[in-house]
Structure 1
Amino acid sequence: MAEAVPLFYGDRAETENASDFIKVFNRSMLFLNPLSTDTQKIQVLANYLGTGSPAECWYDDLTATQRASWDDVVKAFNDRWPTTKSATLTSEEYQTELLDHKMAEEDVGAIKTVGHQKVWAHVKWAEEAMELARLAKIESGPTLIWQVKKQLPKAVRKLLDEEYTTWKKFMDDVKDLSTSKLKQECEEIEERKRKDEEQDSRLMQKLEATKRATTADITAQLQRLTIGQVAVSRTSPRASPSTTHPNTRFTLQQTPRRNTPYNQPTEEVKEIVRKGLEQVPHHPNDEEGQRKYMAQLTAWIMKHGDSAWVTEYTPYPLKPGTAMVCSGECFRCGMHGHRSRDCPTAEGDASRLSRNETVWRVLCNRTLGPFNRNIAYSIRLVVIDDQGNETGSL
């Protein structure tokens, strides 16, 4: 069956190619009448030009010399509609296309249609990549192989060799990949991803629970504190610490008492503690200060864990509304006016400092001494009697 020849208009439409038209016309003439003369071809050509089109006007204006032979007509045609030169990309531009030619994760193990044939997606990708490598003139060497290989889905990369020296070997291995192994790798990767996500979810839940617990503890303390004073209720039927809590005498993080002599801190240790105080500033007892304090506590827990020990390398946040560190303060409540062993706050009282803050204040005082004693504001506890009246400061 003869190839259909579309009408030619010659109006530079994007869907029309003058050179292709002449080729299709010649093929049609050879099929219909291989023995047709030049005169017959020239006469038939008029029937394939659009009515009133620039092409028909050109045909009507042909001179006798231009109509002398079919070759003369073709020459006149090409002079009127010269072949448009195709854009030619450089090797570097083809290499850029090659790097942009990626295999999607969802295409692993999928089927694509090429023409009327169904092929595996990784096979289609490999053939296209190989063609780009040929156009870039790098198919005989290892140029860009490791970059392209690195961009492949993880399931594909795991089944390939570590190194390749030519694109042909690389692409042949991709095309020869077992689809069953590819699907198995994908399933294993998804399973590991699911387990990692579950583990991350559990960790985030734990961090959120820790944060809520810390926030609740701070809120409870804020309800008992003011900048200048803290109320300590004596209406509770709780027994004295000496009877109810026989082991509440102050100890540092429950470490056993050592009989070795106390060693003076070195200048290096002092500098570490000074920098620690700078890293965790003591905020005022206002809304902004409390917000920053809560952020400090959360950051400390996330970095060190809620059961970590306090050392000179893990400076701990200071509660807003308490006395300046190293100012002769009580290490139990963070206030002035009494020594730690005489602190009127009971174990578990909301006015008491956390164990970690107590340890940090003791560590700072032992390392640096009470160097802030003469510049710190005096902040004291106020005792409230059974009727809620202030009975004096401690």
Structure 2
Amino acid sequence: MDMGGVPVGQGLPGGRRMSYPDISTLILAESLMLLQLAALVFVTGIRVQGVMQGPRAWSIGLLAYALAEFSFTIVLKGSPQAAFLPDLLATIGCGAFIIGLDDFADRPRRWPLIMTMLGVHVVSLYAFSVLWPSYHARLMVFSAMQVIFCAAVLISLTMRVQPQRRLGLSLFRSLAYGWSVINMLRMALALVFPLEGSELHHLRELIFYVLVLFFGIWLALGCLLLIHERIASDLLYATKMDLLTNCLNRRGFTEALQLEKRRLVRSWMPTSILAIEIDLFAELVDKHGQESADEALMQFAKVVREELRDVDGFARMGGESFAVLLLDADRAGAHKVAERLRRRVEDLVLYTASGPLWFTVSIGVAGLPPVTFELENTLEEAQQALIAAKQAGCNVVALAEGRLPANA
């Protein structure tokens, strides 16, 4: 968003003159629009400040852009000594956007990069605006900084996100690439047509500020889209996750079964399910209290996650009941996993305000029959095996169809 002076041309060859809209009026309208968009992003950021970081920095960036546009209209009115101010404000806006993206991605702020950009820009703009006034030199420096800014934005956007959050990041990437190309073209045209007083120069700058208008609008829309997608993604995550144990809930596990079922249709492999229940959980609550019982649930979930692979699924089905989806594991392999879990829980001791806390689990194991895909039936078989394990006594692993191997 370079705000350098734009002298009006003297005409085209042959004495013909071209009529253009007044640039100062266009830029003033842009500044007012950016100011309103900054206010919108700021208010939205306040409402979601407990969910994410970044929107308030973006609003500061948009505000700096708006002030840069407004101050440029003052420069056009006849204050060339302040020609460096619009560019400086725009650079501050770029830094605010980089900070906002770093906060949004939960990564450390890149203060060295931001301060270097700002320092280089301040020195160069002061030199080419006050000491050795040169519009084209100032333009070249500003456009080069904008390209660096876009590169920093693209680095900020290298993050893995859920499919529901990809549209906003794609829009920001497109804006970064597009703004880089626009500034590089502007630098090239400034080298090819350096005369400030020509009609072509005036036309070039008019086109640039029209593009600035669209860039500012889409930048604000990109911010709002990122906020919306983050909220929607978090809400979707919350509907599929158990907040206490940070594993899937029943709905999330059902969707995981459906997803794995579609994969099995394409490429079948042995798959097993464990149905797990903490033994005598009601008595545990009565003796140690709900807070200690919640701690037991969290520690149990931690043990299970340590024993499972990243590709396996783990869910709290409700209360003290859990389920595990084991990929590429037949029933014998699933039984070994279940035994390891049973032993680790059996050896687990929690120290609570009411004293040491021990608990055990019973586990039902079921394997998917060869070349079948109905994982829902396998889950029911594992739950039936769990019932058989509870009937045989606590701290037992049972295979489907009622086979009860001895605990090793």
Same fold at TM > 0.5: no
The structure whose residues are more often strand, as a share, is: 2
Higher relative contact order (CA 8 A, sep 6+): 2
TM-score normalised to structure 2 length: 0.28
Question: Which has the greater radius of gyration?
Answer: 1
TM-score normalised to structure 1 length: 0.29
The structure whose residues are more often helix, as a share, is: 2
